[in-house]
Amino acid sequence: MGSFGSHLLAALQMRANALEVRTSVEHFEVVAKNFEFYFRQALCTAQAKTDRLIVARQPWLAEPQAGKQRWEYLWHGAVGNVFREEVKVFYSTQVVCRCLELIDERATSVAQELGLECRELRSAIETGFNSYNDLFHFTPSGAADVAAILARVVIAGQVRH
């Protein structure tokens, strides 16, 4: 069994050698409804157990000005599990990003309906490979930015005695 790094390199190679790259998603509404149902359920469960719940919306890498080829071949969007099997079909990075936008809209809507604090992080994080290793995972610099943003949110909302 190889290391995570070797699996990740294999995943990147699979994406580069993909036999098919899909540029649309059929029946995305089913995925979005499923996400909304389970996200709402998770938030309601958490809300019942705390005085304050903050929804930190998942940021993702927008198409950077530099590293466009690297962005095109991100390993996300596999039709299958790149860590367990050889995958030959992927969704394009643009399609994955559009799906993320739709999921983000659902997450924001659910949080607002439940009256929860909802924080957008994406606009406050530098877009590019200095902040992101791939589509969603941060570099140490990107992670520090997110931590600082969320720390300010938590501290600003604390009740002062």
Q: Are 138 and 146 in contact (CB under 8 A)?
A: yes
pLDDT, residue 161, reads 34
Helical pair 93-113 and 28-47, crossing angle rounded to 10 deg: 40
pLDDT band, residue 2 (cuts 50/70/90): low
Q: What is the mean pLDDT of residues 66-90?
A: 85
Asked if residue 159 has pLDDT above 90, the reply is: no
pLDDT band, residue 62 (cuts 50/70/90): confident
Percent of the chain with pLDDT over 70: 94
Q: What is the mean pLDDT of residues 68-72?
A: 74
Q: Are 116 and 47 in contact (CB under 8 A)?
A: yes
Cross-strand pairs, 55 = 118
- From residue 77, alpha-carbon distances to 11, 13, 74, 116, 146 in Å are 11, 14, 8, 30, 24
The amino acid at 97: C
Spatial CB neighbours of 58, under 8 Å, sequence gap ≥ 6: 100, 104, 107, 121, 136
